[in-house]
Chain A
Amino acid sequence: MLSILQNVPLLQGFSEEQLEYMVQVGVKRSMPKGAFVFREGDPAEGMYVLLEGQTRYFSSDNQGKEFVFLIAEPGDAMGEISLLDDEPRGWSVQCEENCTFLMFSKQEFREALNREPQVKDVVILNLARMVRTLSTTMKNLALLDVYGRVRALFESMLETVDGQEMISQPLTQQAIADRVGSSREMIARILKELVFGGYIRLENKKIIIIQKLPERF
């Protein structure tokens, strides 16, 4: 567990003692795929450091349309904002895979924040990054069309595996739609055209990029 925490980018610079303390006060929890860590509007009781798995932060309207703000990876902190301002949760967080977390209560988090000045720096850095991510998301929503947003999403997820550019994470059409603020039908159309134009290939739920996606659709 200590070795996992040592690899958390946010906790770089923490001494072994500080990390050990975290392991002591934190409660390790596992949640299955599909479970909610918390829901929009819930009162906030704790914060979490994701150790394994993936979660998605999203908001939905009363017709069930969803928008995914971001996807958290191991090492990301979740839910600390509501502990700072005592407001209810501003979005829902759901496990995309089976996940394990280290959970800290509101009181522990607040104490650590006041006792260890480093913790405050880490939280500021984390929030500053979130501001950056959200403003990029906002910019894309306001200034790019759906195709432009799909392209930006693909570029942000691109990996090179065996010399081949691809998006190896399985993405359903609905998952893409929820991340770019569009409908499944629209995404289906865009993907079909990209396959037809020889830009991408769909293989075992992976999206293989054959050539650089065009600027415009």
Chain B
Amino acid sequence: MRSILAQTQLFCSLTDEELARVESLGILRNVAKGSILFYENDVVECMYVLLEGRLKLYSSNDSGREFVYHVAEPGISFGELALFCDERRSICAEAETDCVVMSIHKTDFMSLLLTTPELKDQMLNSAMKIIFSLTNMVRDFALKDVYGRIRVLFERLAQPTDEGLLIDEQMSQQDIADRVGASREMIAKIMRELVAGGYVETGRKRLMILKKLPEQF
């Protein structure tokens, strides 16, 4: 666990001793695949570090439509900004796989900030990153069509490999739809066209980008 904490951006500047303190304040929790760590509107009481598994941060509406902001991987901390200004959660967190999460209670985290004020610099850093990514998301939504949003998502997720640009995340059409705020049918239609045009190749649980996606659909 210590090594994951040391890799977490929030705690990356801490000494071994300080990390041990973080560890002693943290409470470990197993969150089974499919269960909810917190719901929208839950009272904010602690911040979290994801130690194992994948966790989906999302919002949903009355008709069950979801929008996924981010899929968190081990070594990501979240909820520390909410300790500063929010009383209630504005989003929901659900385990995509079995997860192990460490939680630190608000009062403990605030006392940690007093003894290790350099944590504040990391908080500023992560706040800026979140603002940057939210600004881009909002801009894409307000100013781009569905295809434009898919293109941005693919370009962000694609990793260069020996075979070419590959998206290795297991994404169903519904998963893509939930990340770009469209219907599954719409995604199916766009994917069909992209495959027919020789732009992408879909395989088992993966997606290969064959050539640069067109600017316009």
Q: Which residues of A contact B (CB under 8 A)?
A: 59-61, 65, 67, 69, 81, 84-85, 87, 90-91, 117, 120-121, 123-125, 127-132, 134-139, 141-144, 181
Contact = CB atoms under 8 A, between A and B. Distances in A.
A115 to B, nearest CB: 13
B127 A124 contact: yes
B93 to A, nearest CB: 13
A101 to B, nearest CB: 21
Of B123, B125, B138, B144, most A-chain CB atoms within 10 Å: B138
Contacts of A59: 135, 139, 142-143
Contacts of B191: none
Contact of B124 (A90, A120, A135): A120
Interface of B is mostly: helix
B138 A134 contact: yes
Given A143-B67, A143-B181, A124 B124 contact: yes
A85 B126 CA distance: 11
Contacts of B141: 138, 141-142, 181
Interface of B: 59-61, 65, 67, 69, 81-82, 84-86, 90-91, 117, 120-121, 123-125, 127-128, 130-132, 134-135, 137-139, 141-144, 181
A138 B135 CA distance: 9
A125 B84 contact: yes
Nearest to B121: A120
Contacts of B139: 59, 67
Nearest to B81: A128
Contacts of B130: 131
Given A127-B81, A131-B130, A137 B138 contact: yes
